[in-house]
Structures are given as structure tokens and as C-alpha cells.
Amino acid sequence: MLIALDVGNTNTVIGIFDGEVLKADWRIRTERDVTVDELGMLFRNLFDSRGLDFSKANNLIISCVVPPMLDTLENFGRKYVQTDPLVVGPGIKTGIPILIDNPKEVGADRVVNAVAAYDKYRRSLIIIDLGTSTNFDYVSPKGEYMGGVIAPGLIISSEALFQKASKLQRIEISRPKRVIGKDTISAMLSGLVYGHVGLIDGIVRRMIAEAGTDPLVIASGGLAPLVAVESETITEVIPDLTLDGLRILFNLNRTPRGQS
């Protein structure tokens, strides 16, 4: 089995593949100071919770945008999965040209999403990943990664309100009942969610006008369903996009252990 690990600044997404089948997935908080043995115990418990045998996990691919964690993650792979993990980064085969000024700058998660989306649709795409930041990536009709946009995410925006405005409290992001809030919390929710939807639709329309194509607009990430239902430009929501991209990249770069 393949463990696909996408480590973001706020959350870590874990997927377990048996061949092409996603057997289980989890979204957990990213803990920067986690140890190798803590990861080992965590994974054993996660596998047990779904009735999976951790000893059968013998392949590992990692996409990580938190550099201080990379050594720990790689050592976890060597100790508990008995393999040198494949790390998404410069030098691995992606199957798509990365046509930006410095390809080494593009985040691993953005490349992974582009690979997965183009493999699925084979057309021009705008991929929106709603995480700590909200990333917009454009893929050409030929499957070329052309660049994109990075904006503050919903969680960052919410935390900024809490930290910088003395009378505003920390809130949980949810769908507002109305635009015109009747109390402080509902007013904050309206501004955060509808403001972010406006940001997304505005940027997508500008990207389409500049690209001169008719891309499919895909949303991914934990907050994608919340935002997509209000958006006028998002046409598909694929929660497992990054995990599927990691599976594709692993198969493109390595023969899974246990297979010929």
C-alpha cells in the first residue's frame, strides 16, 4: 500500500492507496515539532481505526511546504515504512512542463494539483486550492503549468480580524445565513465567506480574460465545498485532488514495492 502525505502549513492530509483505490484518508492538524516515533504511533492508530494493516504500507510519497518537518517525515518513512520516501520537489518527473520564471519556486502542492487535474480532464484548467493561503493555478490546454495567484486564505483572514481588532473574537468558519449580519459573529462570517467568494470569482474572471481560453474551474481543499456553493465560477469540487496527484507522481517516478 502507498501512503500519500500532503503536509501543509495548517493541515496535513493523509491518503492510503491500494493500487489506484483510495482506501482511507484523514485531515489532521500539522504539528511542526512532532517526532518520528509520534508519527509512527499516529499512523498505527489511524490504520487500526479503519481496519487496515500498517505493516502492509511499504511505499511513501511526501509533498511538504513546511521545510523544517522534512527530515522528520523522511526518517519516519525509513523507520516505520522501511523505505526511502519519494519527496515532491525539483528533479522528479511530473509529466507537465512548468513554464514560470523559476520552476523551483512553485510549491509542491501546486504542482501535485496540476498533475492530478490535467490527468483527469486533459483541458485548460484553473485550480483553486483553499488552504492556509488560497492558491489559483492555471494549466494550459497542452498541459503546461503557466503560473497563478496566491491570496490570503479564509483562516488567515479570520485570524487577522481576531488578532488585530480588539473587540472581535475568534470564530469557526461556516456558511452565513444572510449577507447582512444581525450580530457581530454573523457579520464577520458574511464578510469572510462572501468576501472570499468575491475575491475568487474576481480573480478567476481576470485569469480567464488574460489566458484567452475557456478553462474548467476546480476547487480543492478543506474549505472548498463551503465556498464553491456560493461561487459563480467554480464548476467542480474535488476534495481528494492532491492525494490523487501524489499517487500519479509516485507511479510516474517509481515502481511500487511489491509489484514487478
**What number is the average pLDDT over the span 168-194?**
90
CA distance 225 to 24: 20
Side-chain half-sphere of 27: how many Cα atoms within 13 Å?
A: 12
**What number is the average pLDDT over the span 62-83?**
96
The pLDDT mean for the chain works out to: 93
In percent, how much of the chain has pLDDT > 70? 98
Tens digit of each residue's pLDDT (9 = 90 or more) over 208-236: 999 999 999 999 988 899 999 999 999 99
Ordered structural domains, the chain, with CATH: 2-87 (3.30.420.40), 103-244 (3.30.420.40)
Catalytic, out of 6, 18, 53, 109: 109
Q: Which three cell numbers stand for residue 153?
A: 486564505
The predicted pLDDT at position 91 comes to: 85
Residues in Cβ contact with 51 at an 8 Å cutoff, skipping those fewer than 6 apart: none
CA distance 5 to 55: 17
Q: Quick check: is 129 catalytic? A: no
The predicted pLDDT at position 163 comes to: 84
When comparing pLDDT for 168 and 31, which is higher?
31
Tens digit of each residue's pLDDT (9 = 90 or more) over 27-57: 999 999 999 999 999 999 999 999 999 999 9
Global confidence as pTM = 0.88
Q: Find out whether 89 and 108 touch, Cβ atoms under 8 Å.
A: yes
pLDDT at 260 over 60: no
